[in-house]
Structure 1
Amino acid sequence: MKKILLITILSLLFFSCENLDDGIKNSNSPNQFSQNFGQSVQRDFMGQVVDENNNPIESAIVKIGSNHVNTDSNGVFILYNVNVFEKFAYVSVEKMGYLLGSRSLVPTNGINKIKIMLIEKAPITTVNSGQTSEVNLPNGSKINFDGAFEDENGNSYSGSVSVFAYHLETSNSNISELMPGMLFAEAQDGSAKVLQTFGMLNVELAGASGEKLQIAEGHTAEISMKIDNTQLATASSTIPLWHFDEENGYWKEEGEATRQGDYYIGNVSHFSWWNVDAYQSMTTLNVTVVDGENNPIPNLGVTLTDQSGFISSTLTTNQNGNVSGLIPTNNSLTLEISGAFNYQEQIGSFNSNSSITIVISSASVNTFNFSGNVLDCDNNDFSNGYAVIAINNYVDYAPLVNGTFTSSYATYQDTFNYSVYGVNFGNNEFSTIVTGQADINVSNTVSINDLVVCLNSNTINLAGDFNLVVTRDDGNIYTFPNEIIQLVSPNNYKTTTTGSWAAGTIAQDQGYNFSINNLNGIIVPNQGLCQGYYSNNIYGENYNGTSSNGLIINNNEFYIQYTITFNTGPRIYTCHYIRN
């Protein structure tokens, strides 16, 4: 099934198609192409950086132009008054151990919210210079090298070559967060194109000393990209090849690939991201979702599918209940709404810019509005941060404007529980958590006032990436270099195993929860673990003679001691965490 990513003007989403022809003119020069993104303007950005399991990534470096900032323990970043083009902004993210992440968008007034998902960088094999070699990926995609490599200075390289490769398939539900930039490109004739992807391949090469390598000048490598099973029926015999320009933030056409069976095969002269993409006539569609009383419904997923199998990514309605993007012309479409609703309707076709309104009246839709303020230690409005609002599986990071925040949540429910806390973005400090129950029979407005973020309260924050040394009660010692501690709510944490076995968490990605009961004590509650794989029980043991299950030295070092009950009996583990 082909995918057309709706490229939106929303601050929560990816790209603006409004007045596209006015801002991007045909050009035969890449420099001229980028210069036609309009005048320099100042815009505000807020976003979250996560890994492929949606765990926040702390201390990632986020760059927009000459501005940069590190993400906090929630993976959140904030940059205000950044100079960007009025019709194009490029956000890149660097973190050791991950591929370069990025997002391109046309920035709007107000806060531009984005989410970027980073891909772990791990070599899949090693090849040798001077020899032909074939590198195979798990899904059948492959790369063939002729053995000629060079370093970044153009010098010939001889030795072993580590190959990092990742095929982003169109069926990946996170493609919008994982892909670099956006599906917007410069064709060979200099014109602007909106792409329909059949898959993307990233390849990076490194020498024996870790130096970056490329294919030697005058040589090529053959890439063979597996076509997604959902797209086999519509994949053409040839398709343009596009590479991602990591400096400028958009795709550029370079060559073409030929279909051979279930694969697209082409030759490339360098590596970054490569994309096999078609394109077709497009038009703009604006969708507004409202309830039976004409109130806009935010935070809903909108997906469009046409009769030939083209499918859009799922976009989220903004506070006005609106999404906007590009669709294929003259095609009937199926519109699906997800989130709090299960709704489907046939619409179209459209051959020019159009707007439609979808009325959800099959059941009572309740929209709750959250608002509040955050204060510093002196009870002054605190603006360098945000509020975290958690409802069921929905979490919103609401920026502070003059110390206040607003957010909305739509649901069929009459009541639900919520939790809210304030965060100091600069120092990773947070307020105490406020919990409550919203009830539509009482009010659809929830006010959370005077959340105090203060240097003297809750300054211990154990979220982040740690080196873990586990000492078992029989004297065996195990070391794990990347144990992720995730902040679930103030003073409450969850570990995420990054290895196949760590901290006694037998199954991969099975962690345990713990909390801080005071500034130097950790509590490990009795909880299920591994779901019967070896054991179902984990519980804390007193550490070092204290009355708690762990001891905090400081934000960068702490101990946890716990017991896992195996079939053969209990075993005690002492975990020493040191921040990377």
Structure 2
Amino acid sequence: MKLLRLSQLLLFPILVITIWACSKNNSSELSASSTRETDKILTSIQGRVLNEQLQPVQGAIVGCGGKTAVTDANGNFLMEQVKVLPDAAQVSITKDQYLNGIRTLAVNTNSLHYVQVILQPREAAATFSAASGGNIDLPGGKLTIQPNSVLMKDNSSYKGIVDINFKFTNPESEHFEDMMPGDLRGIDDKKKQRGLQSFGIVTLNFTGQNGEVLHLDSKLPVGLLMNIPGSLQGSAPAQIALWSFNTASGYWEQQGFASKQGNAYIAMVKSTGFWHFAVPYDVVALKATILDQHNHPIPNMQMSIVSKIDFIPVYSYTDAGGRFTGKVASNSQLILSLINPCGQIFYHQEIGPYSTDATIEPFTVPLPGSSTLMIDGIANNCSDQPVMGKINILVDGLSYATDINKGYFKMTFMRCNASAANVTFSAMDTATHINTITTLKANNGTITPSLVVCKP
């Protein structure tokens, strides 16, 4: 997270609330090795895919739990009842001309979770001859490649010109949480789950001149140099743990260490993919529920939990029930913040410290009326009977799904402006499979739409 955003927390006093916690077993002893089908749960995931200019990416293929969806014109997607591991639900995104995106979520059973992913463009940062190798300067880093160290899919040697797809993801970037692969958790060399304090992530891919997907010969490792962001150089340790992302488990896994030389880290890597320079720290599991001033859950809300002393962050979104589920730094005073769609912190409070896994009591957050649209609606069929079903609500390009229960549905949108918005309701009656679309104009505040879900 950008230090400018974190510095907002220092502009006014921190609200300190004492919260009682229920102790459980310490989750820091959990390993990522368990991928048994019996451990998996059913949940649903919705979200949005954007490019680096924060414009929606249409037609991206989103995968999770063996199911796929395609993003719409606003970059939105929804996948219901996917079977995933609760501690490591993986959402993958592919789209031509973009590097693959992947995000790891901690999820709840039979809930609806939200995620936002920013895709980075697939473009050659440099080229080199596979036969001769070389020292290649790149934006944010450098590669030292041995001759004849690049292989084709069948592990035969590739001798031609190689395009290097190299992306440095800066943890100080304003949208780091939406660009990073996985999340900020890893499995260390002792098979223990740890939190990760990031000093930078490198995405490294090789492509042949005819579009061939290439990889490294593991017997001929590549020297990888990553420039340390200026604001982190003073706190960067002399030696740092090196992590590669395991797309099978959804976790970062430690692959030794990198050494600091000047204002850069240098490591030897044996594969392409995602590489993370990060300091591990101990974690515990935390669950929290966030309610608005009307005692309703606040869904799909971006939040961060940072350690008070050194600002080590954890990122997430609340689920449909207003719940946060994740891992946070153990034995640390923490600051929980809520972030509106404009990227501004509008609420924070101090919590913790926690030495063991904890579930904290629900707490209330007053939403600002001037920028909040609360929807408290009714949906009936042609016989004026209440509908049981699903509804998608689109406001300002954001689409959120929720249930219609006995004819009633609720949803909350925080907005970046006070002007009237077009609100589009796509409601489905699960008994008849009839879907109707209704659009109306609404100002911020509370609206009570009454929808009719039936054939004209």
Cα deviation for residue 70 of structure 1 reads: 2.0
Q: Secondary structure at the match of 2:231?
A: helix
Cα deviation for residue 117 of structure 1 reads: 1.9
Identify the match of residue 395 of structure 1 among 393, 398, 405: 398
CA distance in 2, matches of 1:146, 1:267: 12
Q: What is the 5 A alignment of 1:417-432?
A: 417-423=420-426, 431=437
2:90 matched to which residue of 1? 90
Q: What is the 5 A alignment of 1:350-361?
A: 350-354=354-358, 355=360
TM-score by length of 1: 0.62
Tell which deviates more after alignment, 99-108 or 371-380: 371-380
2:9 matched to which residue of 1? none
Identify the match of residue 369 of structure 1 among 371, 374, 390: 374
Q: Deviations over 1:137-164 (max 9, x none)?
A: 334x222212321112111110111111
Highest relative contact order (Cα 8 Å, sep 6+), 1 or 2?
A: 2
In the alignment, structure 1 residue 263 sits paired with structure 2 residue 264: yes
Contact between 2:113 and 2:300, CA under 8 Å: does it hold in 1?
Answer: no
CA distance in 1, matches of 2:52, 2:25: 32
Q: Secondary structure at the match of 2:34?
A: helix
- Aligned AA for 1:328? A
1:346/1:233 Cα in 2 relative to 1: closer, same or farther (>3 Å)? farther
Contact between 1:431 and 1:453, CA under 8 Å: does it hold in 2?
Answer: no
Cα deviation for residue 322 of structure 1 reads: 4.9
Q: Secondary structure at the match of 1:122?
A: coil
Q: Secondary structure at the match of 1:43?
A: strand
Tell which deviates more after alignment, 372-381 or 304-313: 372-381
In the alignment, structure 1 residue 437 sits paired with structure 2 residue 439: no
1:64/1:297 Cα in 2 relative to 1: closer, same or farther (>3 Å)? closer
1:182 matched to which residue of 2? 183
1:364/1:117 Cα in 2 relative to 1: closer, same or farther (>3 Å)? closer
Q: What is the 5 A alignment of 1:19-34?
A: 25-26=30-31, 33-34=33-34
1:160 matched to which residue of 2? 161
Larger radius of gyration: 1
Cα deviation for residue 374 of structure 1 reads: 7.3
CA distance in 2, matches of 1:363, 1:41: 35
1:128 matched to which residue of 2? 129
Cα deviation for residue 24 of structure 1 reads: 7.3
CA distance in 2, matches of 1:111, 1:289: 15
1:98/1:411 Cα in 2 relative to 1: closer, same or farther (>3 Å)? closer
Contact between 1:2 and 1:234, CA under 8 Å: does it hold in 2?
Answer: no
CA distance in 2, matches of 1:295, 1:80: 23
Q: Deviations over 1:255-305 (max 9, x none)?
A: 210111211110001110001111122234555556678776566554444
1:84/1:299 Cα in 2 relative to 1: closer, same or farther (>3 Å)? closer
1:276 matched to which residue of 2? 277
Contact between 2:76 and 2:398, CA under 8 Å: does it hold in 1?
Answer: no
- Aligned AA for 2:234? A
In the alignment, structure 1 residue 447 sits paired with structure 2 residue 453: no
1:348/1:65 Cα in 2 relative to 1: closer, same or farther (>3 Å)? closer
1:453/1:266 Cα in 2 relative to 1: closer, same or farther (>3 Å)? farther
2:329 matched to which residue of 1? 328
1:6 matched to which residue of 2? none
Contact between 1:432 and 1:452, CA under 8 Å: does it hold in 2?
Answer: no
1:38/1:259 Cα in 2 relative to 1: closer, same or farther (>3 Å)? farther
Percent of aligned pairs with the same residue?
A: 23
- Aligned AA for 1:42? L
CA distance in 2, matches of 1:363, 1:78: 28
CA distance in 2, matches of 1:363, 1:117: 27
Q: Secondary structure at the match of 1:195?
A: strand
Tell which deviates more after alignment, 371-380 or 144-153: 371-380
Identify the match of residue 386 of structure 1 among 383, 389, 392: 392
The number of residues matched between the two structures is 423
Contact between 2:59 and 2:70, CA under 8 Å: does it hold in 1?
Answer: yes
- Aligned AA for 1:242? W
In the alignment, structure 1 residue 224 sits paired with structure 2 residue 225: yes
CA distance in 1, matches of 2:274, 2:49: 20
1:299/1:424 Cα in 2 relative to 1: closer, same or farther (>3 Å)? closer
Tell which deviates more after alignment, 404-413 or 270-279: 404-413
1:35 matched to which residue of 2? 35
1:218/1:176 Cα in 2 relative to 1: closer, same or farther (>3 Å)? same
**Unaligned segments of structure 1, at least 5 residues:** 4-17, 455-580
- Aligned AA for 1:406? K
Cα deviation for residue 318 of structure 1 reads: 5.3
Tell which deviates more after alignment, 123-132 or 201-210: 123-132
1:532 matched to which residue of 2? none
1:202 matched to which residue of 2? 203
Cα deviation for residue 111 of structure 1 reads: 1.7
Q: Deviations over 1:61-85 (max 9, x none)?
A: 2222432232222222222232323
- Aligned AA for 1:422? F
1:334/1:125 Cα in 2 relative to 1: closer, same or farther (>3 Å)? same
CA distance in 1, matches of 2:169, 2:372: 36
Contact between 2:402 and 2:411, CA under 8 Å: does it hold in 1?
Answer: no
CA distance in 1, matches of 2:348, 2:420: 28
2:53 matched to which residue of 1? 53
2:44 matched to which residue of 1? 44
- Aligned AA for 2:84? V
**Unaligned segments of structure 2, at least 5 residues:** 4-22, 429-434
Q: Secondary structure at the match of 2:313?
A: coil
Q: Deviations over 1:334-375 (max 9, x none)?
A: 554543874555555443445377666798899753144679
CA distance in 2, matches of 1:41, 1:314: 22
TM-score by length of 2: 0.78
- Aligned AA for 1:447? P
CA distance in 2, matches of 1:304, 1:82: 27
CA distance in 1, matches of 2:58, 2:160: 35
Cα deviation for residue 306 of structure 1 reads: 3.5
CA distance in 1, matches of 2:369, 2:209: 63
1:377/1:144 Cα in 2 relative to 1: closer, same or farther (>3 Å)? farther
CA distance in 1, matches of 2:244, 2:326: 23
Tell which deviates more after alignment, 94-103 or 239-248: 239-248
